[in-house]
Structure 1
């Protein structure tokens, strides 16, 4: 597989100062895994969104197509996005596969949990 990790930072007119940032604007970085020109996964990071953020860096999201599970794509994305830096993330309570993946990457539950307002699912916080 010819995975390529492409990184880019959200670039909008506000970066030049031409427009004020909209309320709630957060700068984030996104990494995309591509195989033969097809996006097969992505990860995004930003400064921690939570008022009680345990670290400055948050892995906000990680997704890999089912056909690419177990092929190293998720690990390549985590390596590119956060490396070994201290960080935190939220993981779905009913996703043991993802929880095991994050534990292998040094994350541990810190006891914080929340209900996602958009999806109405329980999430647990993991920190390293």
Structure 2
């Protein structure tokens, strides 16, 4: 059997070399593990942020659409969409307001991408 304490390379025994390698390898392995974990967490956070932004955008669009339909329904219910009154003045104003807000939503989405 070979005695590990007596074999030497450049005045280091095999036991010394293994000790040095193990003392260096553990911090390197921990650093690599930490870096990989950090990158995965960052990727998951970005993915979650993108999903949340898409959900928020869809909610804003749906809210805008619902408000527009509600306003048009109120105009119709109050008789503003008949031929005796200026039927499209209010409807066009509501449409233009909704369209401006919709454009703002789309610009926000394009800027995020």
So what's the TM-score if we normalise by structure 1?
0.20
Q: Which has the higher helix share?
A: 2
Structure number, greater radius of gyration: 2
